[in-house]
Chains A and B, each alone.
Chain A
């Protein structure tokens, strides 16, 4: 894509950078939600029903929360291992 930044003043350039960063953040967020929905759908939604019920929603929410807890726990334990190996 050819971005005609030479036509833009400093203020507009700064706005454009901010805009691209926001869109990047939005895209990353959506991509993560796709990944979590993939995982949590398999765990929580065993039957296709006419509507999601309360227990489905609770399961999906818990699934996201615990997946993030797991990520943090593993990150910390791998980090500790790395630290140990370096000593």
Chain B
């Protein structure tokens, strides 16, 4: 598409989709990992809680990718996408 306005618009839409996805991911990770890693909130996050949160976040993102691939494969098989 030649119009610079249109290019700009498409870039904005792409960005908004990416930001919404990131916010949803962050919110889920915070919910799941806080539950797992901080069972009894103390006066501050201790180092083992911080390590757990970091690990948990990495595992959640890996899980997201596994789920995404499984769903994509299935959707392609069912020709639903």
Show the binding face of A for B, using Cβ within 8 Å: 1, 3-4, 7-8, 12, 15-16, 19-20, 23, 25-27, 29-34, 36-38, 40-42, 44-45, 48-52, 56-57, 60-61, 63-65, 68
Contact = CB atoms under 8 A, between A and B. Distances in A.
Contacts of A37: 28, 60, 63-64, 67
B43 interface: no
Interface of B: 1-3, 5-6, 9-10, 12-14, 17, 20-21, 24-25, 28, 32-33, 36-37, 52, 55-56, 59-60, 62-64, 66-72, 74-75, 81
Contacts, number: 100
Contact of B68 (A33, A50, A65): A33
B28 A34 contact: yes
A60 B69 CA distance: 10
